[in-house]
Chain A
């Protein structure tokens, strides 16, 4: 596939993984803001990486222009999808001049899909691109839902929770997306949903989860990326 990358406020790790995937899986990274200037050429998919400072009109305009020229737009990594670590960004050096105006890129642009992670693994990016290439809507579904405006979801479940694996939309309602994808520093609802499998702890990119039977999130290391929630077998069925 022909791939483009717009890198905004980010550390560059998501971009690094995307580059490696394109190199090894035979996708063509035709344009990357890290290396190129100007307009995004004609591509199959545009990845947006990182957060945007609301006060940075230039960045917002670049994002808008890039998004308008691409058919498929994907938030690459938690910073772009939900805010992730970049939510902590302050924007000014001096404590007296705090101006928290950093938001996930997906707040300023309509994205079609989101890949959660800090950074998402090469495997996740590769399998997403494969599903996209094949037009496999079933496999793309979780990426589609995770890119949505969670606050717009109807809190009334359309149907009772259907067993351990509810549909993606249903279970997203179990989490408070203001902080991250996880529920107020719980991976999923502890008593009713959590089976204590440990997948959250293995997936946590900051090793902020200690688990004896059920996960305990160490707030001092949590970066609010939501990887634990997306990985949980009870958030949605793969």
Chain B
């Protein structure tokens, strides 16, 4: 038996490592961690105006950019007691759905499922929608404390872009389903106890009991010496156990570790429908922002369903500046259970499974 540290290229930014005990070419015991240099969002926003925390959160990782920005803005609103207009809430929900489509489509495009072309087409459509609602196609800058800094939303156009993309999304779903069926045949896994699923909402925002989330340092969570030495990330558990977050959790779990891709493809279709629906019910020149934001003090939290799962932000503000910040990302949760999925697999299969689960080194460390 030997212990190896493997670099896993999941298609996402950052450095993801698997520390594994391998016997006869198969993993016996494994832990998943990140060795990315920490951006340290939680520290770099200290003493900065809260708006900077929003802008910075959007640059943590490309997949969940809009969702991270929204989570920070909502935590700040909670802390400052800001009431966001209804139109702004609906527009934000729409923005988050478009972000889910963008992220999932890109993930599927690089997952070797043979859907590159249509999937990138969906990424483009989603970017178009993010641009119309969020101001730019990526890192949407309209996200701000108090709502969305945008005057008009071309709702009809949003609706038609979403509707036009549905057909492509269904095509992608079909292709992903059959590609995943093939993968499943090649990749036998023993049935094991499924982790609890954690999601705060089926679309956008919700509540999560922060007290039930336990954040562990590498020394506290990892058991292997190598992992403890190299890991730069924290790990999150829910009610004392690893929890599954993300597209599969939102639909009620995954029987097989490569099924997450199917959950993504399904979610693209349903989110596109959701976007078209939301746009048709939205006032194109509504009130998207309240000016009633004062640089005050307070403590607040928000939980958002980011594309890859539950994203929790907690902020303490002092005179409009960040006094304390915490961000728990989807990958923090996933890292807790990823290791358990790997025993029995070969090294190549490890990469396939982790790609499906959707782990990003950057998100894990942030």
- B residues near A16, Cβ cutoff 8 Å: 62, 106, 123, 138
Smallest distance from the beta carbon of B126 to chain A beta carbons, Å? 11
- Partner pick for B43 among A33, A94, A205, A208, CB 8 A cutoff: A94
| Contact across chains for B39 and A89 when beta carbons are under 8 A apart | yes
Question: Would A221 and B55 be within 8 Å (CB), given that A15-B13, A93-B43, A205-B141 are in contact?
Answer: yes
| Contact across chains for A11 and B55 when beta carbons are under 8 A apart | no
Smallest distance from the beta carbon of B91 to chain A beta carbons, Å? 16
- B residues near A208, Cβ cutoff 8 Å: 55, 141
CA A9 to CA B14, docked complex, whole Å: 7
- B residues near A199, Cβ cutoff 8 Å: none
Question: Would A85 and B116 be within 8 Å (CB), given that A19-B109, A36-B9, A93-B42 are in contact?
Answer: no
| Contact across chains for B37 and A53 when beta carbons are under 8 A apart | yes
Interface 9-residue window, one of B46-54, B80-88, B246-254, B296-304: B46-54
Of the four ranges (under 10, 10 to 19, 20 to 34, 35 or more), the interface on chain A belongs to 35 or more
- Partner pick for B117 among A23, A33, A53, A56, CB 8 A cutoff: A23
CA A55 to CA B232, docked complex, whole Å: 14
Asked if B221 is at the interface of the complex by the 8 Å CB criterion, the answer is: no
Asked if B59 is at the interface of the complex by the 8 Å CB criterion, the answer is: yes
Residue of A nearest to B8 (CB): A37
Number of interface residues of B (CB under 8 A): 45
Asked if A35 is at the interface of the complex by the 8 Å CB criterion, the answer is: yes
CA A118 to CA B48, docked complex, whole Å: 21
- A residues near B36, Cβ cutoff 8 Å: 9
Question: Would A13 and B56 be within 8 Å (CB), given that A91-B40, A207-B149 are in contact?
Answer: no
CA A50 to CA B42, docked complex, whole Å: 20
Question: Would A37 and B7 be within 8 Å (CB), given that A20-B124, A220-B51 are in contact?
Answer: yes
Asked if A92 is at the interface of the complex by the 8 Å CB criterion, the answer is: yes
Question: Would A90 and B43 be within 8 Å (CB), given that A9-B36, A35-B110, A207-B149 are in contact?
Answer: yes
| Contact across chains for B139 and A118 when beta carbons are under 8 A apart | yes
CA A119 to CA B65, docked complex, whole Å: 12
CA A85 to CA B139, docked complex, whole Å: 12
Smallest distance from the beta carbon of B214 to chain A beta carbons, Å? 17
Smallest distance from the beta carbon of A30 to chain B beta carbons, Å? 14
| Contact across chains for A90 and B38 when beta carbons are under 8 A apart | yes
Besides the contacts A15-B62, A20-B120, A95-B43, what 4 more A-B pairs have beta carbons closer than 8 Å? A36-B9, A50-B13, A86-B39, A205-B141
Q: List 23 A-B contacts (CB under 8 A).
A: A9-B36, A12-B12, A12-B13, A13-B62, A13-B138, A15-B13, A16-B62, A19-B106, A20-B120, A33-B9, A34-B9, A35-B11, A37-B9, A86-B39, A90-B43, A95-B46, A118-B59, A119-B139, A121-B137, A205-B139, A218-B51, A220-B48, A221-B141
What 8 A-B pairs come out closest when comparing CB atoms? A12-B13, A12-B62, A207-B141, A220-B49, A90-B40, A53-B37, A13-B62, A220-B51
